Amino acid sequence: MADENSNREGLLSKTEKDILYYEDCPGCRIDHRKETNLGAPYKELVYIWIVALCAGSAYMLGRGLTAVLWGALADRYGRKPIILFCCTTMIIFTTLFGLSTNFWMAVSMRLLLGAFSGIFGPVQAYATEVCRKEHQTLALSFTSSAWAIGMIIGPAIGGFLAQPAEKYPNVFTKDSLFARFPYFLPCLCISVWTTAATIACLWLPETLHKHKAINEESHGTGITEKTQENNETGSTESESLYRNRPLMSCIIVYCVFSLHNMAYGEIFSLWAVSPKKFGGLNYTTDNVGEVLSVTGLGLFLFQLALFPKLERILGPLMVARVCAALSIVVLGSYPFIAKLSGASLSLLINIASLLKSILSTSIFTGFVILQNTTVSQHQRGAANGISSTAMSLFKVFGPAGGGAIFSLAQKRMNASFLPGTDLVFFILNLILVIGLIMTFKPFLVLPRRPR
């Protein structure tokens, strides 16, 4: 108790110059913990990693329509209640989606699932706020790896568990519930996982400050934390987020890379299972699943072990630029890899797929870090909501565009310029080049440095 009091006195002596401490404020308690505990909050990071993974495959359009609203609510009422509410609705609508009896019910449930999957903004804001500054990159690596791994293994799990009565007749009989609702099993598994995540979130401490910061209480000798944050980001409390040029420019560049990544995800699977005569790998769906499994595991290990060190050395913007340039090189190798066979093909496609996912996720994590430095805490949820909305709308067009480009390429196998899949990877690299150019001035506006 004496040690705790001495720590609290040390914090209060510091806040006499900088910020005010309020005993009943959850945000102040988090600040106190960050002052007295120099380690990374792994328990909270694991919780939000689980939550982020659950929402990795939410319906993009529904999410895009409501992400700003959920972010704004998280700024007003706190991160934790919005995360808990959205997790609960995800359980309900995912289960109902698996029990859909017709097409329109399935579409409606999917849309509602996306609309109530509003945890992306609050989770990213929470990951930034629960850590000391030196651990924020690690925290955002947790969330980024969850999104990426969810997009990789989600379709694989769905394919493995869908229609279980047909695939596993010895386990699921033809008159069972799973035969009547062939897509209920994967939805049930997701709902169980999300239920566990929701229970885990009950132990999450709130990070939002819930007090009125009054400068007079500091006897005119200091400034409040909110004022400090505004000085660092160059924003004002009443400034519209849509007029925040650093934020909006980061979001635009982020969306360009998101469009590329969604198109790539669609194209990779189509390319891998296409016959050799069409420039593909002639893989089975099981082969593709094996590649994606290796990619997911390697990506997770990289994001947690190496990315924070890399970001500390280069900074988030330089990481994004370097990774975008390297992605162009990796994608350029795909047509040549398709000409291989046997063990050499298996080895190189696994390496290339892993590198591409690592580079893409590193770009996203770098821009999430940049976005969160452009706003202060009271706007962070809404800012991440705007980013999530824009990204979701871009991702709606990614798969459709990728499929259309791949279909066009197969009709141009004998073309003299960019035949077949050469056209596909050229267009993907063109989007990457555009994104890379936009990471420089005048397209990207960085926040002012603190005075």
pLDDT of residue 214: 52
Report if residue 55 sits inside a domain: yes
> Is a pLDDT exceeding 80 seen at residue 65?
no
**What's the average model confidence in pLDDT over 369-381?**
85
pLDDT of residue 213: 54
pLDDT of residue 326: 96
> Is a pLDDT exceeding 80 seen at residue 402?
no
Amino acid at position 444, single letter: L
**What's the average model confidence in pLDDT over 201-219?**
69
> Is a pLDDT exceeding 90 seen at residue 396?
no
Q: Do 198 and 206 touch, CB atoms closer than 8 A?
A: no
Boundaries of domain holding 261: 43-205+241-439
pLDDT digits (tens, 9 = 90+) for 2-60: 554 555 444 444 444 455 778 788 888 888 888 888 787 878 777 776 666 555 644 66
pLDDT of residue 52: 63
Return the residue matching tokens 């141009």: 412
Return the residue matching tokens 């050229």: 426
pLDDT of residue 334: 94
Residues 6+ apart with CB under 8 A from 51: 83, 87, 119, 123, 197, 200, 201
Report if residue 158 sits inside a domain: yes
Task: State the Cα–Cα distance between residues 322 and 45, nearest whole angstrom.
Answer: 27
pLDDT band with cut points at 50, 70 and 90 for residue 448: low
Report if residue 47 sits inside a domain: yes
pLDDT band with cut points at 50, 70 and 90 for residue 229: low
Positive/negative CA dihedral, 95, 96, 97, 98: positive
Which CA distances in Å does 273 have to 237, 288, 337, 410, 428?
Answer: 52, 8, 14, 13, 19
Task: State the Cα–Cα distance between residues 287 and 271, nearest whole angstrom.
Answer: 12
| Residue of 436 and 176 predicted with greater confidence | 436
3-state secondary structure of 263: helix
Report if residue 131 sits inside a domain: yes
Print burial letters for 218-231: b (CB count within 10 Å at least 16), e (below 16).
Answer: beeebbbbebebbb
Backbone angles phi, psi at 175, to 5 degrees: -105, 15
Select from 59, 92, 137, 442 the least CA-distant residue to 315: 137
pLDDT of residue 270: 86
| Residue of 104 and 164 predicted with greater confidence | 164
> Is a pLDDT exceeding 70 seen at residue 253?
yes
pLDDT of residue 223: 43
Name the domain count of the chain: 1
Report if residue 445 sits inside a domain: no
Render 35-79 in DSSP notation, one character per residue: HH--S--HHHHHHHHHHHHHTTT--HHHHHHHHHHHHHHHHHH-H
pLDDT band with cut points at 50, 70 and 90 for residue 285: confident
Question: H or E element: which one contains 217?
Answer: none
Q: Supply the mean pLDDT for the chain.
A: 80
Q: Do 316 and 369 touch, CB atoms closer than 8 A?
A: yes
Report if residue 5 sits inside a domain: no
Which of 42-56, 127-141, 277-291 is the least confident region?
42-56
Structure tokens at 410: 């197969």
| Residue of 32 and 396 predicted with greater confidence | 32
pLDDT band with cut points at 50, 70 and 90 for residue 220: very low
Which of 127-131, 255-259, 402-406 is the least confident region?
402-406
> Is a pLDDT exceeding 70 seen at residue 336?
yes
Structure tokens at 399: 């798969």
Report if residue 90 sits inside a domain: yes
Which of 112-126, 197-211, 298-312, 344-358 is the least confident region?
112-126
| Residue of 340 and 226 predicted with greater confidence | 340
Print burial letters for 127-147: b (CB count within 10 Å at least 16), e (below 16).
Answer: bbbbbbeebbbbbbbbbbbbb
Amino acid at position 162, single letter: A
3-state secondary structure of 30: helix
pLDDT digits (tens, 9 = 90+) for 294-326: 888 888 888 888 888 898 899 999 999 999 999
Task: State the Cα–Cα distance between residues 38 and 267, nearest whole angstrom.
Answer: 44
Q: Do 369 and 140 touch, CB atoms closer than 8 A?
A: yes
CATH number at residue 357: 1.20.1250.20
> Is a pLDDT exceeding 50 seen at residue 133?
yes
Task: State the Cα–Cα distance between residues 344 and 351, nearest whole angstrom.
Answer: 11
Report if residue 223 sits inside a domain: no
Print burial letters for 205-215: b (CB count within 10 Å at least 16), e (below 16).
Answer: ebbbbeeeeee
pLDDT of residue 237: 52
pLDDT of residue 230: 55
Residues in the chain: 451
pLDDT digits (tens, 9 = 90+) for 159-178: 677 788 888 888 888 888 88
> Is a pLDDT exceeding 70 seen at residue 187?
yes
